[in-house]
Amino acid sequence: MRYAHEVGKVRAAEGALMARLPDGTLMQRAAVGLASVCARILPAVYGARVVLLVGGGDNGGDALYAGARLARRGARVHAVQAGSKIHEGGLASLREAGGRLLDDAETPAAIADADLIIDGLTGIGGTGGLREPHARYAALAAESEGLVIACDVPSGVDASTGRVEGAAVHADVTVTFGTHKPGLLVDPGASHCGVVELVDIGLGPDLPDPDVVAARPADVQPPEPAPESDKYRRGVVGILAGGEEFTGAAVLSVGGALHGGAGMVRFASVGRPVELVRQRWPEAVATVIDPGPHEPAVLERIGRVQCWVVGPGLGTGEAAESLVAAVLGTDLPALVDADGLTVLARRRDLLARDAPTVLTPHAGELARLIGAARDDIEAARLDHVRRAAAELSATVLLKGSTTLVAEEDRPVRVNPTGTPRLATAGTGDVLSGLIGALLAGGLPALDAAAAGAYLHGLAARLAAAPAPGPESPITAPDVIDALPAAFRALNAS
């Protein structure tokens, strides 16, 4: 796992470590790591044109000391001072190594001609958009052809939340110290970071439990069939999806469950979706139910399952509401998606249950569920997914540019495999079936949702670029078809 800690925890860990070390040791460790990454990225250090954007905080000091190390290796290093303060020790070190401080008139040309720009304008404690002159320097860096390396976090990005509330640096690489910060993993902040490099400065023993975690391949462990497994032991998923108007959701969610490792899928809907599912997935056990409102006993006709998936393409009227109520009235794990979430927005009382519940909204659906504005959710995804998990007493998977999975009082899971290629109709239905299969196979709700998001994103990437080269457009059935390859890639890593 990649662990991320909010600023308060990082500050406390830094303070505890600094109390045991000589003054300045931590900054020197950070500077060594930063200079090392810069040297690795540059085609050659000797003769390289390096510009340091330096604020008055510790990140400005890190940048200055790193610049001094590069200067001693032959780079031409210039510093740009933003604001009235500068780290005096760092500036002295830079000057001793042959670097110098630019005046304001020299700055635009130097940034434009730079091979490498190090952003040390603000630190992890910065909030809100960049002010002047910091915003102007960030804009000049964005216009330069040189590589931009952010020191700890791109200036203008909230390190704890990923909020970006105005001007901010767009980095090609972010070199972060001691631990990841949530804002490096969660959009919109993550989109400003480029590649993130972690430099160990010795904080590990002093860091508490993380606030956010991102899985590596070895951390994703879907259920594996044992030698004595049969279709029932592998997990039976019950899916209630589709209607006369939206039939495709039924086919896609069943496909996601079957290719997600379910031992059996029991599917139920009105006549037309059942007909289509039988044609596309003859291995699914399909049951026709009447179009009107239903009593909870309707589930008995479908058969025994280990998990329910309800909502994709179901509609939002009385019939859909009765099916959502029936599913959430059971003591089995349940996943609610799409139209089912619209039902829950007016019937949140149905979430008062003891069994695990997974909700998989996009920002608009979450806005209806918790009474927030969609734009506010997109701007502060981490805050809102935590709020939703607490208010709704559920495992909440917030879809989007970075998919987040939250449970109350647990570190938020960030999915690292997402791709914009998934922004196409029907892929969410595939995800619902896939997570349902993992739930039926015995994974806890948080693990099932996080593993499902990981495999879903990986399958999309494999479908879009099955061989080296540019990605191609994909559709939801392409994701289903690529799921076996995603499982194989996971097992091979």
Residue 58 among known ligand-binding residues = yes
Q: Which two tokens stand for residue 79?
A: 């510093």
Residue 415 among known ligand-binding residues = no
Write the CA distances from 60 to 79, 91, 120, 148, integer angstroms. Answer: 10, 9, 5, 15
Residue 399 among known ligand-binding residues = yes
Residue 189 among known ligand-binding residues = no
Nearest in space to 75 (alpha carbons), one of 149, 23, 173 = 149
Measured CA to CA, the distance from residue 351 to residue 284 in angstroms comes to: 28
Residue 144 among known ligand-binding residues = no
Nearest in space to 73 (alpha carbons), one of 101, 102, 39 = 39
Residue 119 among known ligand-binding residues = yes
Residue 362 among known ligand-binding residues = yes
Residue 60 among known ligand-binding residues = yes
Residue 364 among known ligand-binding residues = no
Residue 428 among known ligand-binding residues = yes
Residue 162 among known ligand-binding residues = no
Residue 156 among known ligand-binding residues = no
Residue 427 among known ligand-binding residues = no
Residue 478 among known ligand-binding residues = no
Residue 59 among known ligand-binding residues = yes
Residue 313 among known ligand-binding residues = yes
Contact 178, 153 (CB under 8 A): no
Q: Please compute, for residue 162, the number of CA atoms within 13 A of its CA located in the half-sphere on the CB side.
A: 30
Q: Which two tokens stand for residue 321?
A: 């509401």
Q: Which two tokens stand for residue 271?
A: 């006549």
Residue 403 among known ligand-binding residues = yes
Write the CA distances from 78 to 63, 98, 114, 148, 188, integer angstroms. Answer: 11, 9, 10, 14, 30
* DSSP codes joined into one string, 347-399: -GGGG--SS-EEE---HHHHHHHHT--HHHHHHTHHHHHHHHHHHHTSEEEE-
Measured CA to CA, the distance from residue 369 to residue 396 in angstroms comes to: 11
Residue 194 among known ligand-binding residues = no
Residue 424 among known ligand-binding residues = no
Residues of the binding site for AMP: 399-403, 428
Residues of the binding site for (6S)-NADPHX: 58-62, 123-129, 152, 249, 313, 362, 429
Residues of the binding site: 58-62, 119, 123-129, 152, 155, 249, 313, 362, 399-403, 428-429
Residues of the binding site for K(+): 59, 119, 155
